[in-house]
Structure 1
Amino acid sequence: MTTAPVDPMLGRLIDGRYQVRSRIARGGMATVYLATDLRLERRVAIKIMHGHLADDNTFKTRFVQEARSAARLAHPNVVNVFDQGQDADMAYLVMEYLPGITLRDLLKDYQRLTPEQTVDIMDAVLAGLAAAHKAGIVHRDLKPENVLLADDGRIKLGDFGLARAASANTATGQALLGTIAYLSPELVTRGVADARSDIYAVGIMMYEMLTGEQPYVGEAPMQIAYQHANDQVPTPSSKFSGVPPELDELVLWATSRDPEQRPADARAMLDRLREVEGAVRGVAGPVPALYQPTMVLADTTATAETRVLNPASAPVPTALAAPEEQGEESAALSARASARKRKGYWLFALVLLLAGLAGGTGWYFGAGPGASVTVPVTAGLEPAAAEQVLTDAGFQVAQGERYDPEIAAGLVSGTDPAEGAQARRGATVTVLVSLGPRILQVPDVVGDPEAAAREALGDFTVGDEVVKQFSDEIDAGAVVGLLDASGAPLPAEYAERGAITLIVSVGAVPQVAGMTLADAEAALDAVGLEASQGEPQFSDEVPIDVVISAEAQNDPMRPGDSVLLVVSKGPDLVEVPNVVTGQTIAAAREQLEALDFAVTSNVPGFLEGAVVAAKQSVAPGERVKRGTEISVNF
């Protein structure tokens, strides 16, 4: 069974306080996890910078800047930041956890939103952004992914990772920051941003919410950037005719290429949005500033008398109608008001029903039987202890077995689903008890090259170090034999992943017989063998100081072992003495036989006491081999 890799952060305790439970999302700079604050016993979102960015001071500075920027804001439409710190090599940021979806998720599900829904969301976004602008903070990365729609109806602005203090012209420090689809012309052309750059991004978001698509598309990012810098964003109604002119005008005002022609900040745009909310919703007059919109995800399209919004001034009232026309108009307005009222009741009932369903679904999957729970770590525990851990986590437990080369037999090897995986509360988790390693047949690799042998022994753990050994039969670099973990010869069957040491041939021991002693010693030293000398011997065939024989002192021979060298003393020659100088025959015989010569004489035995007066067959002083026959005669 193949399982997906487990995120190593799951289950980890950050800074001794935050217990990581599950992963929420992953971005280019960090990953966001759901965690439990053990100190305050509450759920939080913890944002952890990617490890490969930890050494990049630019990213670390930006990460800390997010915490500082968001911490300066206290607004119901801005995600709260609780904590920021460093645990070992991990920089982290602790934020308010909002179960729900993002505006991007909503757009994927509904393609485009109604004008009423757009106004609801933009009212909250602009309110949060106005608080940031008032605090002197430019967000610089506004996009649907950073607008959070909580399950309880709250709408919040998050991810101040690119935020920084605003000035008249805040330089980005890089060519482009933020997502290319929402970059203002001044960011593209000059690399500077202020509050009006955020307003441009808000205008692009409004266009996308009303039409279901972004105003500029292209195959390459620079194509999109070029259009932002050189083209005017079209009105949403040119794509979808149901968009009220008031929202057309707001989008055009927010996305003007000249920053001077846009709202000065989010507060100015929010005030204008609330002025036209009444017209968009079919309510007479502007909606009060304290109006709290309710998101309705049904597809409702309101029709109302409209008026042209002049970005540079307040709306201009129209001329009064004639009295009879006023009466007809009043009746029509009353009829429309009654229809809207009835429609409002139905919509209110629908909202209550959907809220109840969402609440029940949220309970079922959040805390009820359908909730997902992280499978705890049980590897290495006794089966009874592992079963208790899983039962406490809310799972049913079944027993299973599997071979495991690392976990001792009888202990828990793991679970199915694997530890760290998400499983439904009450689901059955199988505890897999280790049977120990499998016993496998060892392949025959003797005579194979070392690399081929290592590949063939892939089910075992072959050490990097090898034992070198001399061999007359196996070529250098090929395997001579195998050793087990204790250094003994490897048996035919062996435990899976058991430690194996290769014995590799370094070739044959050099043949040094017939070499001079000096050459023999050099040849043996070259292959890591030591030369020792035995007792020199006479030899009629081998010249003096030449090696007669070389005898290996170990079997098998390995580098560092010794070879016994026997060197020739040459032929065994003896100098013949002068035995015919007044000695008796008996004395001459005794002297020659003492030197291992064979002695003959023509003198009868009873006369051996006589003095030699003749001659010897080998002249005195001559060197001859031992055992040579020498005659001593009268």
Structure 2
Amino acid sequence: MTTSQTDPMIGRLIDGRYQVRSRIARGGMATVYLATDLRLERRVAIKIMHGHLADDSTFKSRFVQEARSAARLAHPNVVNVFDQGQDSDMAYLVMEYLPGITLRDLLKDYGRLTPEQTIDIMEAVLSGLAAAHKAGIVHRDLKPENVLLADDGRIKIGDFGLARAASANTATGQALLGTIAYLSPELVTRGVADARSDIYALGIMMYEMLTGQQPFQGEQPMQIAYQHANDAVPVPSSKNPAVPAELDELVLWATEKDPDRRPKDAREMLDRLIEAEKSIRGEATLQPTMVLPPAFDVVEGDTQIINPAIRQQVAANTPSAAESLTTATKRRRAKGWWLFALVILLAGLAGGTGWYFGAGPGSLVDVPNVVNQAPDKATATLTDLGFTVKQAQEYSVTVPTGQVSSTDPGADTPVNRGGQVTLRISQGPKPIELPALAGQPLDAVKAAITGQGAKVGETAEQFDGKAPAGTVLAATRATDGTDISGGGSYFEAATVNLVVSLGAIPDVTGKNVEDATATLRDVGLLAQSGPESYSDSIDKGDVISAQPQSDPVHKGDTLVLEISKGPEPVPVPDVVGKTWDVAKKALTDAGFKLKYSAIADVVPTAFVVAKVNPGVGERVEKGSEITVNFAGF
């Protein structure tokens, strides 16, 4: 039966965004699936907490902690965490998807790795872990299962579910977390973990990569834990003679029983590994030029015995390395007796310690979420859990005045029973004072609003002949429309709506209809032909004016075009029977051109108008020609 037929998660859409495609792996706390992020159209790995753990606040806290810890890191050797959330009763974590295998898979396939392969993998792991240690994060669960080897060659650390702040290194009374085969002595005996505990786990991993097996083995977890607390890790070369002395020393240094004698963090161990790599590879380049007998005699199977001649020569040339390893081994064995005594003492105190951390002052209780509750109710809830409570004030834009807006420590944070929790009570939004906004450029107004902690809301645009384009004309409160163009009191995170000038409407007077329409269209306005009117100054067919149909005018509004019919016709003056000098003046004053016998201009008073064409009283456009006839001619 296929996975898709047995696993109900296959095909499910999580949080309206992540489409589950197939199952990748299953662990004790969660199952990891391949999914598609429909919003960003990319493949992701989504870790979903097992349903039976959904009501356990400890596991939920670890789930959230993994997201927070990994999200603080941005390093090419750390798996990126994209999202974390809750869908119904299901907690989930979204990470980058890395097609490939884990270091555990590699060890299962190849047994042990070469020194060169071990160095390459350890450099990547230490680089990522160095970034975590620098950020104050202790992984606490380093093991081959959490080292991912991508198909494209990338190596990354994953699963920060047990991570804690590096300063939070006191015992918690909870069961030991992490895989027993990689736990440091201080975690076994005292429940204490810091960056040096991660270094111990890396030393065990390095031993396993070089030899193909873990240094301590047993049928019961307690047997393995006892060996971690009491026995020295043997040198890898005792199981694999091909391991260089430099890597022997690095493993022994990383797995010192006393944390103070280990590298203080991953950066220090990485620096030493790089030095060892240079030394090892430098020797490798010289080795072919040396004339020596075979270094190993094959006895049987895969067992190799160092040639006595070579052993004698190497011992003569490198006394410091041999003496260093011998001294370190003796020092480790000398510590065994007091560590054994310490384990016996701790076992004797287990009953008292269990009470202290389980129900006494040392127990940890998650701070409940009391946001939006009345202070009295929230105080009672916290007091019943054994916390001491104090109050403080803070401004809040999301919680009503007088209600609890936040707590310190925050919700779901583990705190010692009897510890103090501060309730912060909302005073409502923080008051702010806005400067005068009208008449200022839009960019300056936006900066003034956001600089006070408010937000810019709707920005309306309108044409205005008095203000340049981009000038703010008015400002109002989004909540009630109150005009605050001249500035005034408001509150943080509130919204201000603006009205901005588009400048003056283009003047299209004297343009033909086609050109006028195009000019208005260029600024977002529509044109419509309207009435025709007489005009002495605008040619017939051209635009006299563009009349808005609304006030104010916005983009998309329509203007009606008034079209010229040319000059208005006027009546021909009554000049019949009048002398030419009088008639000529009346006709020219009326704006007409004249056609007449030129001789009349010689003695104008002697000529009398007998007839005009067009006739007296007819309405004719100014500039029209009037024919004048004189009596007797």
TM-score between both structures, scaled by the size of structure 2: 0.48
TM-score between both structures, scaled by the size of structure 1: 0.48
